[in-house]
């Protein structure tokens, strides 16, 4: 524990704190560019530095976040924090602690030059493609990267120091025909833990050569203008990989977060390990170890190693996502899912990369199994309140006798997650994982990944007029 001075030479010793504590220091640099229409309306760089100290005393959490790291962490402030514990009613409660471990990773990047020109040119090129059709009235084209160094130190002897680089583009075309306005877009997001010899310019190549996909954005945004709104009702549907990801994350993933579960005995029963909610082919996992996906990391914000967790295996509940607190409360193993969006927030139970595992059916086989219904694509977003979920797609096609028909719009899928899981009748073989952002409580945006193959679901409620 003496090594804190090596990890963070500016930090004072906290060994006098008798209770569990952890301290995070974050330094980050963010670059953002945004075109709206022809204009580059946002160009900015942000430099952040701050810390978050947390103490677990008498079953309650006491925490403080601050910017002036050197000045704020002192014995006097720690005592003030400890005094807050007297206000809160004490309660039973332990944490699952880790074995001491030190993992400090420095890095030296190959490229020294500013890549601003490169980022600007790439985004401008894509934005110009978006603007290439006369019916596209404006765009929303965003480039964003964030290099964040995470330093972690805790009472149970974890000393972690590593740097992760997030990079993404988000491209939306807005089409208009008279009073009819539509939009369509997509995002690509990746991340990389930095080490010696990494080249940012090489990483950014992940964002290159997307011209074809961007032309497709334009086509869909324009096609949507003549698409008819869906008629609300009950449909059998195939959802595409993007929507499958949103389903895995929004509808089911949030329900697997143990902080929802542990305070409620009845919810514990609904989410008990072994409960069967789906067909045997259905397996949903959360995996922060996937290489370079947007929701990947080495350690969570409690210093726990990232690891793969089965949420549903062969149709049965197989696991929950945990922090040090929820793992202790439920007597289950740590999963490394305590994450925070920045040093201003405490770590809470969150997902990483959440996806439905692929099986053997081709898209064509799923179409013929569907026979009549909808093929629903893309995701505007999703929201859940435990068992209820709602997610809006970007566009959809009618399917008649196994054949794709005309495009329709405004398709929102909703329902009860347990019923919907039971209604999954076919799982495709074409897994894709996408980078996105998740919000929970007041913490948005947290980088995550989600995905799946094409999925056939029966009896889905589709909102419409």
Partner 1 sequence: MVIEDLKELLKDKNIIYDIFYEEGHQESFQFRGDEPYSCEKKERRGVGLRVIKDGRIGFSSTSDFSKLKELVDTALTLSFYGEKVNIKLPWEKDLPEVKTISNKTSLIKSEKLYSMAVELISLIKEKEPEVKIDLSIEKEYQYVRLANSEGFDASYEKIILGFGFDGLLVLEDGITWLSDFYNLSENPELDLKKVSEDFCQLIKIAKRKVKINTGEYKVILMPIPAAHFFSILFVGANGKQLEKNATPLVDKEGKQIAPAFLNIVDNGIYPFGYNTAPFDGDGIKRRSTKVIENGIFSNFLFDLITAQKLNRKSTGNSERSYESMPRIQATNIYVEPSQDYPLTKIIKEIKEGIIVYYMLGAGQSNVLAGEFNWVINLGFKIENGEIIGRIKDCMFAGNLYEYLNKIILIGSEIKDLGNYFLPPIVLDKCKIVSKE
Chain residues 183-202 in contact with partner 1, contact rule CB under 8 A: 183
Query: Restricting to residues 332-351, which ones interact with partner 1 according to CB under 8 A?
Result: 344, 346
Kindly tell me which residue out of 67, 74, 132, 199 binds partner 1, with binding defined by CB under 8 A.
67
- For the bound state, the minimum distance from the C-beta of residue 71 to partner 1, rounded and expressed in Å, comes to 10
415 binding partner 1? (CB under 8 A): yes
- Please name which of 352, 351, 355 lies closest in space to residue 432, comparing C-alpha atoms: 355
- For the bound state, the minimum distance from the C-beta of residue 281 to partner 1, rounded and expressed in Å, comes to 25
Question: Candidates 17-25, 54-62, 157-165, 286-294 — which segment interacts with partner 1 by CB under 8 A?
Answer: 54-62
2 binding partner 1? (CB under 8 A): no
Query: Restricting to residues 166-185, which ones interact with partner 1 according to CB under 8 A?
Result: 174, 176, 179-183
Could you give the C-alpha distances from 381 to 67, 71, 175, 328, in angstroms and in order? Answer: 33, 41, 20, 33
Number of residues that bind partner 1 (CB under 8 A): 81
Question: Candidates 38-46, 196-204, 277-285, 423-431 — which segment interacts with partner 1 by CB under 8 A?
Answer: 38-46
The burial class, CB within 10 Å (0-12 / 13-18 / 19+), for 44 is exposed
* Nearer CB in complex with partner 1: 380/432: 380
- Please name which of 252, 256, 223, 209 lies closest in space to residue 377, comparing C-alpha atoms: 223
Contacts 24+ apart (CB under 8 A), 221-224: 221/133, 221/135, 221/136, 221/173, 221/174, 221/175, 221/182, 221/183, 221/184, 221/185, 222/133, 222/135, 222/136, 222/175, 223/395, 223/407, 224/175, 224/182, 224/183, 224/184, 224/395, 224/407, 224/409
* Nearer CB in complex with partner 1: 1/234: 234
> Which residues, in sequence order, are CB contacts of 160 under 8 Å at separation 6+?
101, 102, 103, 104, 150, 151, 152, 153, 298, 299, 303
64 binding partner 1? (CB under 8 A): yes
404 binding partner 1? (CB under 8 A): no
* Nearer CB in complex with partner 1: 270/369: 270
Are the C-beta atoms of 314 and 280 separated by less than 8 Å? yes
453 binding partner 1? (CB under 8 A): no
Rounded CA gap, 230 and 410, in Å?
6
Identify the H or E element spanning 186.
Answer: strand 180-193
Specify whether the backbone of 318 is left (phi greater than 0), alpha (psi in -120 to 50) or beta: alpha
Kindly tell me which residue out of 382, 435, 452, 453 binds partner 1, with binding defined by CB under 8 A.
382
Are the C-beta atoms of 428 and 407 separated by less than 8 Å? no
- Please name which of 436, 93, 152 lies closest in space to residue 300, comparing C-alpha atoms: 152
Query: Restricting to residues 433-452, which ones interact with partner 1 according to CB under 8 A?
Result: none
66 binding partner 1? (CB under 8 A): yes
Distance of CA 92 to the CA centre of its chain: 32
116 binding partner 1? (CB under 8 A): yes
40 binding partner 1? (CB under 8 A): yes
Query: Restricting to residues 122-161, which ones interact with partner 1 according to CB under 8 A?
Result: 137-138
Kindly tell me which residue out of 9, 10, 16, 44 binds partner 1, with binding defined by CB under 8 A.
44
Kindly tell me which residue out of 4, 7, 11, 48 binds partner 1, with binding defined by CB under 8 A.
48
- Please name which of 462, 401, 465 lies closest in space to residue 239, comparing C-alpha atoms: 462
205 binding partner 1? (CB under 8 A): no
Q: What is the DSSP string of 207-236?
A: GSS-HHHHHHHHHHHHHHHHPEEPPPEEEE
The burial class, CB within 10 Å (0-12 / 13-18 / 19+), for 420 is buried
* Nearer CB in complex with partner 1: 28/296: 28
- For the bound state, the minimum distance from the C-beta of residue 264 to partner 1, rounded and expressed in Å, comes to 6
Question: Candidates 6-14, 156-164, 356-364, 378-386 — which segment interacts with partner 1 by CB under 8 A?
Answer: 378-386
- For the bound state, the minimum distance from the C-beta of residue 289 to partner 1, rounded and expressed in Å, comes to 30
Query: Restricting to residues 229-288, which ones interact with partner 1 according to CB under 8 A?
Result: 232-234, 259, 262-264, 266-267, 270
Rounded CA gap, 377 and 396, in Å?
6
Residue 442: how many other CB atoms lie within 10 Å: 9
* Nearer CB in complex with partner 1: 49/359: 49
- For the bound state, the minimum distance from the C-beta of residue 332 to partner 1, rounded and expressed in Å, comes to 18
Question: Candidates 158-166, 316-324, 361-369, 405-413 — which segment interacts with partner 1 by CB under 8 A?
Answer: 405-413
Q: 36: which 2 tokens? A: 């709206």
Query: Restricting to residues 85-104, which ones interact with partner 1 according to CB under 8 A?
Result: 85, 87-89, 91
Kindly tell me which residue out of 409, 420, 438, 443 binds partner 1, with binding defined by CB under 8 A.
409
* Nearer CB in complex with partner 1: 6/41: 41
47 binding partner 1? (CB under 8 A): yes
50 binding partner 1? (CB under 8 A): yes
* Nearer CB in complex with partner 1: 26/159: 26
Rounded CA gap, 77 and 211, in Å?
54
């Amino acid at each position: 524990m003496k090594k804190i001075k090596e990890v963070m030479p500016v930090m004072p010793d906290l060994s006098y704190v008798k209770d569990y504590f952890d301290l995070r220091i974050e330094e980050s640099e963010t670059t953002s560019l945004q075109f709206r229409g022809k204009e580059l309306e946002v160009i900015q760089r942000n430099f952040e530095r701050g810390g978050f100290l947390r103490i677990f005393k008498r079953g309650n959490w006491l925490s403080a976040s601050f910017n002036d790291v050197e000045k704020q962490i002192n014995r006097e402030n720690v005592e003030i924090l400890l005094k807050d514990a007297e206000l809160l009613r004490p309660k039973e409660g332990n944490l699952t602690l880790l074995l001491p471990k030190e993992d400090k990773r420095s890095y030296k990047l190959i490229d020294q030059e500013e890549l601003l020109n490169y980022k600007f040119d790439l985004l401008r090129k894509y934005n110009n493609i978006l603007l290439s059709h006369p019916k596209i009235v404006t765009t929303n084209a965003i480039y964003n990267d964030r290099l964040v160094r995470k330093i972690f130190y805790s009472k149970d002897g974890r000393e972690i120091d590593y740097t992760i680089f997030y990079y993404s583009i988000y491209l939306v075309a807005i089409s208009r025909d008279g009073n009819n306005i539509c939009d369509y877009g997509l995002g690509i997001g990746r991340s990389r833990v930095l080490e010696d010899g990494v080249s940012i310019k090489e990483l950014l190549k992940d964002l290159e050569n997307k011209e074809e996909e961007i032309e497709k954005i334009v086509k869909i945004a324009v096609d949507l203008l003549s698409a008819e709104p869906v008629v609300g009702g009950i449909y059998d549907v195939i959802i595409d990989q993007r929507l499958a990801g949103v389903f895995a994350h929004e509808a089911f993933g949030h329900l697997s977060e143990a902080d929802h579960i542990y305070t409620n005995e009845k919810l514990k029963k609904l989410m008990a390990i072994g409960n069967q909610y789906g067909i045997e082919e259905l397996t949903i996992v959360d995996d922060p170890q996937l290489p370079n996906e947007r929701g990947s990391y080495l350690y969570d914000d409690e210093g726990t190693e990232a690891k793969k967790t089965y949420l549903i295996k062969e149709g049965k509940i197989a696991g929950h996502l945990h922090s040090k607190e929820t793992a202790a409360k439920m007597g289950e193993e740590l999963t490394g899912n305590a994450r925070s969006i920045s040093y201003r927030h405490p770590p809470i139970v969150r997902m990483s990369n959440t996806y439905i595992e692929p099986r053997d059916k081709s898209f064509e086989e799923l179409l013929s199994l569907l026979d009549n219904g909808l093929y629903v694509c893309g995701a505007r977003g999703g929201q859940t309140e435990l068992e209820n979920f709602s997610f809006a797609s970007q566009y959809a096609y009618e399917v008649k006798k196994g054949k794709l028909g005309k495009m329709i719009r405004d398709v929102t899928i909703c329902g009860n997650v347990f019923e919907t899981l039971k209604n999954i009748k076919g799982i495709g073989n074409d897994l894709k994982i996408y980078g996105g952002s998740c919000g929970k409580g007041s913490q948005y945006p947290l980088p995550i990944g989600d995905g799946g193959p094409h999925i056939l679901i029966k009896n889905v409620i589709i909102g419409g007029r």
